[in-house]
A and B are shown apart, each in its own frame.
Chain A
Amino acid sequence: MYDIVIIGAGVTGCSVARELSRYKAKVCVVEKCEDVCCGTSKANSAIVHAGYDAAAGSLMAKLNVEGNRLMGSLSEELDFSFRRNGSLVVCMSEADMPGLNRLYQNGLENGVERLRILSQEELRAMEPNISPDAVAALYAPTGGIVCPFGLTIALAENAYTNGVEFKFDTEVSGLSPTAGGWSIETNRGRIETKYAVNAAGVYADVFHNMVSAKKIHITPRRGDYCLLDKSTGGFVEKTIFQLPGRYGKGVLVSPTVHGNLIVGPTAIDIEDREGTNTTAGGINELIGKAGATVRNLPIRQVITSFAGLRAHEDGHEFIIGEAEDAPRFIDCAGIESPGLSSAPAIGIMVGNLLRDRLRLGPNPDFSGKRKGVLNPKTLSKEEHTKLIQEHPAYGNIICRCENVTEGEILDAIHRPLGAKSLDGVKRRIRAGMGRCQAGFCSPRTLEILARELNLPQGEITKCGGASRLIVGTIKDRV
């Protein structure tokens, strides 16, 4: 019997898990995929929003601003990439200026610090590549960019080392109330728990509606993105949003913490909760819109395109807390943008709620510090040389585009909740995320994974399940 079972190992589930690991409790995260960060958390804008956007007084606004404030210290404690690069909401027409001012006022009400409206001249001086048609912008210095995998994986690793269990490839199919809580039915048997936390992303309405008569409805809202080569990473310094206005909603253009440029997203409502396929229409729409706020966007430098799903709840508000008619079932539903930004605050909110309900005492062994994968590029030349002398694998480059060494791949595989697949390695240390998109390194990473996990290469997958990379040996059917 667990005290708490969290359904979903996305950024929300992992943040709740990490908060709960502060307390003496038996906690388990169940995840239908083979790794953490496999759904909405892995495919989004990777933005830490300042918090001017959400409606004043909403839970979304409160948690966004709190999450943003927490992100800096959290990135230091948990060693993931985060940068407060600032964001700009660009107004493309004088007629839309009232909208920009409303956004500014909303931001002030939400408690966003240091917000101000920039004149056209100030804007140009700040971002030389901004469109000459831009008339003004709302500048939020607290806006930031984050590695969404880095954040989620760091939270999960820290939760795990502090005692939280993780069950992967475990899909929940039903929940039934018991005398003391919930019996959760999965493809790997039943799990009994006192409390259940629903952090199931685009599936959160499915689980909520299993236990509650007060139905909620989530629409998977697809966003297509293009990621551009690192040679374009300096194209803009800040995250550039377009003020929704007479020229439509627009898409953002932003540097990433890794030095690429990201462009997106579209917003296309779909029905398939696994419908992360890009479409020609989506990509064309994106490319059409992307150039509006900046000039000469180097869109031909695209190295990959992808799509992610936002868990859009009809009321466009986070639904966090105990379901009214389902005691001990705690929802974290409708966590769409700014969900990534809010994750640290959501974790604390749900953690505190459960601490009080279950009267949890502190975990005496809790350590909130986590060290990420050692990145040799951050070392001095002397330290780097010493590292290779001690661990020659750090002298062996596997991913040429991102200069990722065998040493980093070994670390990614063998650390707590380590990588089991090519995508698992990629999300932890970027091998295969560069301009050749794993053309050169995938056979070598495959070989290392098989060797280290002691599996035949035919068993190694791209992303778990049936995503095997090779299907046999040559001439085996000739």
Chain B
Amino acid sequence: MTNYDIVIIGGGPAGLAAAVSAYDAGTRSILILERDTQLGGILNQCIHNGFGLHTFHEELTGPEYADRFVRQVLDREIVYKLSTMVMDISGQKIVTAMNREDGLFEIQAKSIILAMGCRERSRGALNIPGYRPAGIYSAGTAQRLVNMEGFMPGRRVVILGSGDIGLIMARRMTLEGAKVLVVAELMPYSGGLKRNIVQCLNDFDIPLKLSHTVVDIEGKERVSGITLAEVDSGCKPIPGTEEHYDCDTLLLSCGLIPENELSREMGVSLNPVTNGPVVNESLETNIPGVFAAGNVLHVHDLVDFVSEEAAAAGRNASAYVSEGGFEAARHEVPIVCEGGPRYTVPGTIDPAHMPDRLTVRFRVGSVIKNHFVSVYFGDKQVLHRKRPVMAPGEMEELYLSKKMFDERPGLDKITIRIEEA
């Protein structure tokens, strides 16, 4: 069995940023395990631009953004293994992995950073009725086929779900010669970023039908058509509103699910709202020394924030290793959500362990206009900020400083509340 101080599960944007920051914080013994044939994760198939505005203040494509981090990993000579599948992680931080060259092998880690990313919700999980022909793809699978393999998965396309990948693929398929007939969204609002609605749908005259869903898939061998229907406020199809579309392809962009099978099996507690680990201010899970960052923790909209979050996880893992573990007795202050936020990351804060400025990220469950985001320490309002629009498709963030905590020793509850003026 080999030993590493930090083993990072996943070599996508989260894993790369975590590795670089852990190195820069002083840890030298770092291993990245990546299941694909190259570093960079899903960024490699995201050939559109718009990445890196926050991190690099320029617009990069996905592969370019990944390359910036890959270079940093290479410059630091951080060890990584490609085409390597992690099969199991024990509660004692023994990682069992497999690849063609090494076969089955075990690594003892002092600290582990979970950075496995997420997968797309499938047709099956959505219970869409109809046949099961060829021509039904998740948007990301279609993106891989088009952008990495050069294949067209279809010619006449209907897209269900207005998640960002679906919006991006509406444009991509159009540019590659397909006809995208419509994007349907179950909810009364889009699941994607506003800029993607404008740049990927409006600019190409692709209609977006909110409060609509697919109620039938036709075609016994290849998709030959689908039926859309409007849904009521309970998301149930309204009889009589059915519209038929002749098409050969249905793309699905109906949500992303953090890939936490390894985490669950090793005993990491998961948050049922995010499907990601429950973490504290250090992005540490309930298992000491096991950290999580990026889409495996909660699904992000922008890779820039994935990198930022993962860098924090990398720094914290490095501190954990150099300190020989964090002390056991800790004062964890829970964050409670009221009036709109569905969850927060982190879920608890230990003032003694937080950095000078801590980012708290959350999402709301519905579109909320002209409200305030307030933070209360106990009963005392410590932050109050107007937000013209908040939507489930756009992650919110706020910052808490160590100083705010220093002024209130013994704090036992933080409340994040969405409220009217």
Interface residues of A (CB under 8 A from B): 226-227, 231, 274, 276-280, 282-283, 302-306, 381, 384-385, 388-389, 392-393, 395-397, 400-401, 403, 435-440, 442-443, 447, 457-458, 461-478
Contact = CB atoms under 8 A, between A and B. Distances in A.
A477 B179 CA distance: 11
A436 B134 contact: no
Given A385-B104, A388-B104, A283 B129 contact: yes
Which 8 residue pairs of A and B lie closest in terms of their CB atoms, listed nearest first?
A: A304-B124, A437-B122, A462-B134, A392-B100, A388-B103, A397-B85, A467-B221, A467-B134
A457 B132 contact: no
**Is the contact region of chain B dominated by helix, strand, or loop, or is it mixed?**
mixed
B13 to A, nearest CB: 17
Nearest to A286: B127
B129 A468 contact: no
Interface string B16-36: 000000000000000000010
Given A397-B35, A436-B122, A381 B104 contact: yes
Interface stretch (B144-152, B288-296, B373-381): B144-152
A258 B223 CA distance: 29
B152 A277 contact: no
Interface of B: 35, 83, 85, 87, 98-104, 119-120, 122-125, 127, 129-135, 137-138, 140-141, 144-146, 148-155, 175-177, 215-218, 220-222, 237, 248, 261, 264
B144 A277 contact: no
B177 A475 contact: yes
Nearest to B99: A395
Given A302-B124, A302-B125, A439-B138, A462 B100 contact: no
Nearest to A477: B177
Given A461-B134, A470-B151, A471-B154, A303 B104 contact: no
A466 B177 contact: no
A476 B152 CA distance: 9
- Which of A280, A304, A384, A389 has the most chain B CB atoms closer than 10 A to its own CB? A280
A384 B104 contact: yes
Contacts of B138: 439
A454 to B, nearest CB: 18
A471 B98 contact: no
A435 B264 CA distance: 15
Given A397-B85, A439-B141, A475 B176 contact: yes
A358 to B, nearest CB: 37
A396 B127 CA distance: 31
B383 to A, nearest CB: 35
Contact of B134 (A231, A384, A469): A469
Contacts of A384: 103-104
A420 B35 CA distance: 26
Given A395-B101, A403-B85, A436 B120 contact: yes
